[in-house]
Amino acid sequence: MSTDGPGLTYVVQPGGQLSGSLRVPGDKSISHRAVMFGSLAEGVSEVTGFLTGEDCLCTMKAFQAMGVRIEQLGPTHLRVHGVGLHGLKAPSGPLDLGNSGTSMRLMSGLMAAQAFETTLIGDVSLSKRPMRRIVDPLRQMGATIATTEKGTSPLKFSAAGGLKAISYESPVASAQVKSGILLAGLYADGKTEVREPEASRDHTERMLRGFGVEVEATPGYAAVRGGQRLKATNIEVPADISSATFPMVAAAIVPGSDLLLTAVGINPTRTGIIEILRRMGTQIDLTNERLFGGEPVADIRVRGGQLKGIAIGGDLVASAIDEFPAVFVAAACASGTTVVTEAEELRVKESDRIAAMCDGLTALGVSAIAQPDGAIITGGGIGGGTVDSKGDHRIAMSFAIAGLRATGAITILDCANVNTSFPGFVSLMGKAGLRVSEQQPS
Ligand code: S3P
């Protein structure tokens, strides 16, 4: 689903320093949910600060294909004409969700409850990602869903004949799984509960409340009663802390850098990166703390300095799950060793992120030893060379910021999917001081 094709290459010239003030694009998790919940609501919702990355555009197109009118009033401003919980219409063909795991797992909960058949498909990466984690609980609720033998997509949903509420102990801390089950729970008889081994991001719980739904939630637990209706509301999307992570780490690894990231979402289930960088020795100050609807937001000032290696595991993993590729780069620039454990989920993201990062860092001369659930990275010099992003947006952006501390140019292959989450990455980071350019495929 990428606009540029798989051949897009980044070339990063070594050195540089970051300064100034940046606003990164809107939060991906919140943008997906704003379109989904706005579509299911009664009335018209406006969304500002929407992320127009490929992933969220896939969600938008999928709801349009099910009869929802969504107007684009400005570059990041949508007007969603909700059709109500029971107003979606059968799409004319499979819904293509591109690279987006969030679209597929959350929409699975919704498709499981519809009175029509649907098929969800995705790109090569999404077609390899595990879907039993969401399909199994939905089957327990009474849904009929076919997968491949490996438990991957295409996912074929039969027309539903009514769902029953479940009380589910999830084996993984996954907001996608939790949210998919809660969305199905809106259509079920009774109270649907999800318990998780660690607290995952809680945007679904917060935003459903904004749409007038009663949700019970404590860290690691969430529940909804079926039959509640969503009432339209306006959503202001904060800048994505997972996208802000790239300029934050970029500033942190270069002594003398001083960068301000504005209007960044600081939901406590997402701020692991701030904690990790502080523990590594970075000076980070939050100012102008405020709320965008139910979501806390702040301006984040990062000043670069010498980092030290640390141990990262436990509950820090879930609250920084998308940030590890960038954390691996910070570790490569730190003095001493960084040990990441309990992060086996990294192996089933848009790529196997443990392998992709350790392979790439090794190619650049860094000691990065992959472990089943993490890695051991010893700081030292980063050399120049060529690395493969494996088509994973966050791997591509991580190696781009590594260029700031490299001794030679870094060429990064297969970068088109940066558009899934951070459109405009090259120009925005270029303005702040990163020497990165794009080479279009010939
Ligand atoms: C997301 C949840 C996380 C995260 C992903 C977005 C969400 O995935 O990695 O980028 O919006 O719910 P998991 O639920 O698989 O942990």
In terms of domains, do 110 and 259 share one? no
Torsion angles phi and psi, residue 426, rounded to 5: -65, -45
Shared domain for 165 and 285, answered yes or no, is: no
Q: Name the one residue in this structure whose structure tokens are 């701030």.
A: 274
Looking at the domain assignment, is residue 171 inside a domain? yes
Residue finishing a domain among 189, 205, 236: 236
pLDDT in tens, 246-298: 999 999 999 999 999 999 999 999 999 999 999 999 999 999 999 999 999 99
Instruction: State the pLDDT at residue 160.
Output: 86
Q: Are residues 165 and 256 in the same domain?
A: no
pLDDT at 6: 57
Residue 298, beta-bridge partner list: 264
Q: What was the pLDDT predicted at 2?
A: 40
Range of the domain at 306: 9-26+238-439
**Atom 9 in ligand 1: residue holding the nearest Cα:** 322
Render pLDDT for 10-63 as a digit per residue (tens, 0 to 9).
Answer: 999 999 999 999 999 999 999 999 999 999 999 999 999 999 999 999 999 999
Backbone φ/ψ region at 98: left (φ over 0), alpha (ψ -120 to 50), beta: left
Is 103 within a domain? yes
Measured CA to CA, the distance from residue 61 to residue 103 in angstroms comes to: 11
Considering Cα of 320, then 22, then 51, then 82, what sign does the dihedral take? Answer: positive
Please give the pLDDT value at position 198: 96
Contact 201, 268 (CB under 8 A): no
Question: Are 153 and 131 members of one domain?
Answer: yes
Choosing from 27, 322, 388, 414, the catalytic residue is 322
The last residue of a domain, from among 236, 271, 305:
236
Gap between the Cα atoms of 105 and 136, Å rounded: 12
Residue 4, in any domain of the structure: no
Same domain for 21 and 78, yes or no, is: no
Of 215, 236, 257, the residue at which a domain comes to its end is 236
Q: How many domains does the chain have?
A: 2
Q: Please answer whether residues 408 and 434 qualify as being in contact, where contact means their C-beta atoms are separated by less than 8 angstroms.
A: no
322 is catalytic: yes
Which residue, by CA, sits nearest to atom 16 of ligand 1? 174
Question: Which residues of the chain fall below pLDDT 70?
Answer: 1-6, 442
In a domain, residue 1? The reply is no
396 with 280, same domain? Answer: yes
**Which CATH number characterizes residue 47's domain?**
3.65.10.10
Tell me, yes or no, whether 225 lies in a domain: yes
Residue 196 resides in a domain: yes
Amino acid type, 359? D
CA dihedral 333, 338, 344, 350 (to 10 degrees): 0
Is the domain of 57 the same as that of 135?
A: yes
Q: Cα of 417 to ligand 1 centre, how many Å?
A: 17
The answer to whether position 3 is within a domain reads no
pLDDT for res 441: 75
Identify whether residues 247 and 196 lie together within a single domain: no
For residues 100 and 195, state if they share a domain: yes
Q: State which ligand 1 atom lies nearest to the alpha carbon of 175.
A: 14
- Give the distance (Å) from ligand 1 centre to CA of residue 435: 30
Ligand 1 neighbours by CB, cut-off 6 Å: 29, 102, 174-176, 179, 200-201, 321-322
Name residue, tokens 């798989």: 6
**C-alpha 138: how far from its chain's center?**
22
Same domain, 57 and 94: yes
Q: Are the C-beta atoms of 184 and 113 separated by less than 8 Å? A: yes
- Residue 154 placed within a domain: yes
Site to probe by mutation for ligand 1, drawn from 35, 99, 102 as the one with most ligand atoms within 8 Å of Cβ, is 102
Q: Is 350 found in the same domain as 214? A: no
Residues 303 and 363 in one domain: yes
| Candidate from 107, 128, 194, 201 with most ligand 1 atoms within 8 A of CB, to mutate | 201
